[in-house]
Amino acid sequence: MAATELISALLLLLLICSSDISSSEKTRRPEPCKRLVLYFHDILYNGKNAQNATSAIVGSPAWGNKTTLAVPNRFGDVVVFDDPITLDNSFRSTPVGRAQGFYLYDKKEIFTAWFGFSFVFNSTRVKGTINFAGADDIMKTTRDLSVVGGTGDFFMTRGIATLMTDAFEEDRYFRLRVDVKLYECY
């Protein structure tokens, strides 16, 4: 009896201590060493827009196909993209790089995706990549992806990218605002 009480008291103490640590860690979060706000534009191939499509469904569930997003909630579709990145929200602006990778829709009940992609920069001013991975809870106004690494001007970087859907037109087009906060810069 006494032993179990002692154990639960110890456990409680441990819990309090660990929550103390996490709250003090939160207040000690560093400022980003580099911050970039960029936009990327995705035009999904729908069977008719081969000229200006920048992404394509490459995998669909058995009940779907590769020109129409699957029902329900696009579940099971895998999309590969090579999207222009711009400094402002205009699709017509000169691209500063490409967002290249894939997203897949991974929940039947609601609309969510998983993203794995890179920002690829190959201009005279910026060269290198920033690599992103993580869950995208599309129905939320903002959602965070991990910046898992980088190369070139972004050598070995890490951080957080906050995504916002800046615009969308049904299933054809979306534009994401990406606020990249890097916490490791070399």
Ligand X SMILES: *[C@@H]1O[C@H](CO)[C@@H](O)[C@H](O)[C@H]1NC(C)=O
Binding mask 68-87 for ligand X (x = CB under 6 A): x-------------------
Q: Of the candidates 24, 52, 94, 141, which one interacts with ligand X according to CB under 6 A?
A: 52
186/33 Cα distance (integer angstroms): 9
Q: What does the radius of gyration of the chain's CA atoms come to, in whole angstroms?
A: 21
- DSSP E strands in the chain: the ranges are 34-43, 55-59, 78-86, 97-105, 113-122, 127-136, 142-152, 158-169, 173-184
94 binds ligand X (CB under 6 A): no
Q: How far is the CB of 67 from ligand X (least distance, A)?
A: 5
Which one-letter amino acid corresponds to residue 50? A
| Residue indicated by tokens 């993203």 | 115
91 binds ligand X (CB under 6 A): yes
First vs last Cα of the chain: how many Å apart?
56
173 binds ligand X (CB under 6 A): yes
Question: Which of 6/167 has CB closer to ligand X?
Answer: 167
Find the Cα–Cα–Cα–Cα dihedral 43, 46, 48, 51, rounded to 10°: 30
Question: Which of 132/174 has CB closer to ligand X?
Answer: 174
Binding segment toward ligand X, per CB under 6 A, in 13-21, 49-57, 147-155, 156-164: 49-57
89 binds ligand X (CB under 6 A): no
23 binds ligand X (CB under 6 A): no
* Residues making contact with ligand X (CB under 6 A): 43, 49, 51-52, 65, 67-68, 91, 122, 173
